[in-house]
Structure 1
Amino acid sequence: MISEIGFGAQPRARYAVLPGQSRGRLFDEPASPTRTPFQRDRDRIIHSAAFRRLQAKTQVFLYHEGDMFRTRLTHTLEVSQIARSIARALSVDEDLAEALALSHDLGHTPFGHAGERALDLVMAPYGGFDHNAQSLRAVTALEQCYAEHDGLNLSWETLEGLVKHNGPLTDRQGKGIGHYEKGLPYAIRVYAEQQDLMLWSYASIEAQAAAIADDIAYNSHDIDDGLRAMLISLDQLRDVPMLSDLLGEVEDIYPGLSEERTAHELVRRLITRMVEDVINTSMDNLSRLKPQSVDDVREASQTIVGFSAEMTEAVTAIRRFLFEKVYREDNVMRIMRNAEQVLKELFLYHFKAPDMMPFNWQFDLDGAPDKIVARRVADYVAGMTDRFAIQEHKRLFDVTPYLG
């Protein structure tokens, strides 16, 4: 099931996305003599303003709570490394998997999911706010650096994977399903009028690899950050079956090891265990389903890249533990409630006074309908870093909630 392609790449499986068969870009461009379309996509994402801003956006802990905690940028780089490893093992395009991993969080607001909740609430009358849809909006509209078009003009395969990495969004008749049963987010709905991303189908193996890499990265590294923040202890991890087993393994091999080194050994083993499970499970699925092309993958009856039933159960237990001990810890929740307030107030202020935004954001809003103003303000606020959002709130309001 392996075929060779150009650009010095490793052998590709028949079910892989082949760069030479890309469906192209919304705006035609001449091909590069030295890079595949997906390598160019990756490079454009890395050089984008939205990617740079990830360095000061929250993963779990706010950017100023400590230099050792992960940000959206460091999380994204970790996802990218894991995605490439899985893609390589499955003989699919590593560059596409990497591009998708690097772009998957570009639409996140400041303060993580707290900021997303705040913007979704205030945007409810105007179509809501969804960070996955905002990632698509960032790379197709909000990045404005090219002379000939808005957005990064990424390849069809990268946009498809970015939108559908968690599975189909609609049925074949275009009706939203699952999370989108009540309707598609604004950004996805608008872009679908320009280019058909086959929202009813599954995404490529490369996109599925990036999606599961995200799960692996945050489930393991949020344990590491939770330990660093002293919200959890190594002893508490013994209540989670797989973590208890891994701790026992580390302690058997390295008796008397320091807590910091023990934590690192635990996390690296956890990542390895999950990655190997995904590769083995995915290979089993590929052997059973026997896709002969990427279109077979898209039209499959299920996600192909994923955890085994046993690992799914173990990961669910880890997530349950993290929700209880880290994400919903009283102090974390207090900070996130305050962060939500900051985002809501910033949105409402600029919605009432859009002329207080920088000129390139307020341009042509005079007399515009509320829904247009609201979307522009949401784009502006969503693009802020944690640091800038706090500074802007302090500039505009007498009192800023404490975020520490």
Structure 2
Amino acid sequence: MQQRRSQSSSAFNADTSDSPAQRDRARLIHSAAFRRLQSKTQVLSVGENDFYRTRLTHTLEVAQIGSGISEALRDKYQQSSAITQALPSFFQIEAICLAHDIGHPPFGHGGEAALNYFMHRHGGFEGNGQTLRIAARLGEYSQNHGLDLTRRTLLGLLKYPVLHRQVAKQPEPCASTVNLDAYKPPKCIHDDEEDILAWILEPFAAKDRERFCQVQNGRSQYKAFDTSIMELADDISYGIHDLEDAIALQLLTERQWQHDVIAQLPATGPLSENPQWYTEQLFSGCENQRKYAISRLVGQFVPAIEVREQGLFGSALLDLQAFLPESFETTLALLKTVVFDRVIKSPSVQALEYKGQQMVLRLFEVLRENPSRLLPKAVLAEFEQSHNPSRVICDYLASMTDQYANRLFTKLFNPEMGSVFDRV
């Protein structure tokens, strides 16, 4: 892999100057991939309501929670230089959190499975893998190195530091695309980014690199310290803030809340102290009371987070891990599960996700078979020069917002819609 900018090529350390991390953060905020998050699905389809979260507002909340976790840990462990020196700075963790979802395709996990259906024999597709691809290869700030971010930011984005070919199970040939459950992608990065993975991990000792990329039971086993902070911020946002959306839009009833969460709470934890108060506030019908309860709940999770040493790696950036105490982890799992079961898996939401999935399938097939007629000139040039042309179409579709993919589908397949003045 070619040399990247000088800040990226340095070894991992706790920078006394934030300028490289600030630059990463700025490049992410001003990138096209970040802007497109405003029109990508988080839980509910974009355009259904003006209240709930999109991928963009979710990402901003993850960044705020992530920086709060980092600062809380700095205060908690101020007597431990080993931990405080390894903690990411405010700008570093914000950069990682702001980037964590930029690879998600249109129509959420439905779009992800559709793209992997076409790519499973061409290096795979997975949303987190696409995040790394955008950050290190496709972004607009350099010709060959994408957003050209520092090694530490890219390391923080490595939620699953294994390649598609290491963890993918080849499904049986699919005669019908009516059900694509078999093509739900494994958690990985794409085979095309093997050189990027090697570059990110180059400063670590060979033993650490080998262990960090181990696969067990078809899954990656390890993540970096910064990644563990980002994932906790993501889980807290998903479990608590998306819960707020579900209640506000009356997709979760008080009865379901009592059955799925309150009745299952551990003896101790953030909700266990006063479950009746939280129930009254969340289901009061008053936005201010509901928001206060949500904020108070987040405020209990963040200071509870701790750091432990795994004793497995020579580098603290790999060995240290942020985690929640067991009772907090159990409570957060209940909140995430109720959002997943009662909202995401509801037939009404699944119908929209399925419709989007079918649109992505049809678009991929038509673009692949008619590249010279339908691909934009710049994309067509890449397609014709690529050793993996399917990846070029995949990148093009994955970058689309929900609305853009919908408009393109309508232009191509609705006889009554479309104009020569509509750009594709």
Equivalent residue, structure 1, for 2:353: 336
User: Is 2:230 the counterpart of 1:210?
Assistant: yes
User: Is 2:288 the counterpart of 1:261?
Assistant: yes
Distance 2:362 2:148 in 1: 33
SS of match in other structure, 1:305: strand
Task: Report deviation, 1:273.
Answer: 2.3
- Of 292, 295, 304, the match for 2:315: 295
Equivalent residue, structure 2, for 1:127: 123
Q: Which amino acid aligns with 1:95?
A: F
Equivalent residue, structure 2, for 1:192: 197
User: Is 2:101 the counterpart of 1:105?
Assistant: yes
Distance 2:317 2:367 in 1: 45
Task: Report deviation, 1:224.
Answer: 1.1
Residues 138 and 145, structure 2, Cα contact 8 Å, conserved in 1: yes
Q: Deviations over 1:350-391 (max 9, x none)?
A: 11112211111110534866xx22100000000001110100
User: Is 2:250 the counterpart of 1:230?
Assistant: yes
Structure 2 spans left out of the alignment, 5+ residues: 75-86, 170-183, 203-208, 213-221, 266-270, 417-424
Q: Which amino acid aligns with 2:304?
A: D
Residues 39 and 54, structure 2, Cα contact 8 Å, conserved in 1: yes
Distance 2:27 2:352 in 1: 34
* Alignment CA distance shift 1:199-1:157 (3 Å): farther
User: Is 2:375 the counterpart of 1:357?
Assistant: yes
- Of 152, 155, 160, the match for 1:160: 155
Distance 1:116 1:105 in 2: 13
SS of match in other structure, 2:6: coil
* Alignment CA distance shift 1:383-1:255 (3 Å): closer
User: Is 2:227 the counterpart of 1:249?
Assistant: no
* Alignment CA distance shift 1:357-1:244 (3 Å): farther
* Alignment CA distance shift 1:271-1:335 (3 Å): same
Q: TM-score, normalised by structure 1?
A: 0.78
* Alignment CA distance shift 1:323-1:244 (3 Å): farther
Residues 70 and 93, structure 2, Cα contact 8 Å, conserved in 1: yes
SS of match in other structure, 2:323: coil
Q: Deviations over 1:187-245 (max 9, x none)?
A: 43242355535474355433321111000001111111112322112343222125576
- Of 373, 379, 387, the match for 2:389: 373
Structure 1 spans left out of the alignment, 5+ residues: 1-24
Equivalent residue, structure 2, for 1:70: 53
Residues 132 and 158, structure 2, Cα contact 8 Å, conserved in 1: yes
Q: Which amino acid aligns with 2:156?
A: G
User: Is 2:26 the counterpart of 1:43?
Assistant: yes
Residues 141 and 150, structure 1, Cα contact 8 Å, conserved in 2: yes
Task: Report deviation, 1:250.
Answer: 4.3
Distance 2:144 2:7 in 1: 11
Q: Which amino acid aligns with 1:225?
A: D
Residues 169 and 180, structure 1, Cα contact 8 Å, conserved in 2: no
Distance 1:71 1:85 in 2: 21
Task: Report deviation, 1:249.
Answer: 2.5
Distance 1:47 1:364 in 2: 24
* Alignment CA distance shift 1:94-1:207 (3 Å): farther
Alignment of 1:258-337 (within 5 A): 258-278=285-305, 281-282=306-307, 285=308, 295-298=315-318, 300=319, 304-337=321-354
Q: Which amino acid aligns with 1:27?
A: R
Equivalent residue, structure 2, for 1:26: 4
Task: Report deviation, 1:150.
Answer: 3.8
Equivalent residue, structure 2, for 1:9: none
Task: Report deviation, 1:160.
Answer: 1.0
Residues 107 and 135, structure 1, Cα contact 8 Å, conserved in 2: yes
Residues 130 and 189, structure 2, Cα contact 8 Å, conserved in 1: no
SS of match in other structure, 2:104: coil
Cα RMSD between the aligned structures? 3.5
Residues 238 and 244, structure 1, Cα contact 8 Å, conserved in 2: no
* Alignment CA distance shift 1:55-1:295 (3 Å): same
Equivalent residue, structure 1, for 2:146: 151
Task: Report deviation, 1:349.
Answer: 1.1
Distance 2:275 2:7 in 1: 52
- Of 62, 67, 74, the match for 1:84: 67
Residues 84 and 94, structure 1, Cα contact 8 Å, conserved in 2: yes
* Alignment CA distance shift 1:261-1:234 (3 Å): farther
Equivalent residue, structure 2, for 1:21: none
Residues 383 and 393, structure 2, Cα contact 8 Å, conserved in 1: no
Alignment of 1:382-397 (within 5 A): 382-397=398-413
Q: What count of residue pairs does the alignment treat as equivalent?
A: 358
Residues 136 and 187, structure 1, Cα contact 8 Å, conserved in 2: no
Identity over aligned residues, as a percent?
30
Task: Report deviation, 1:68.
Answer: 1.0
Distance 2:69 2:7 in 1: 30
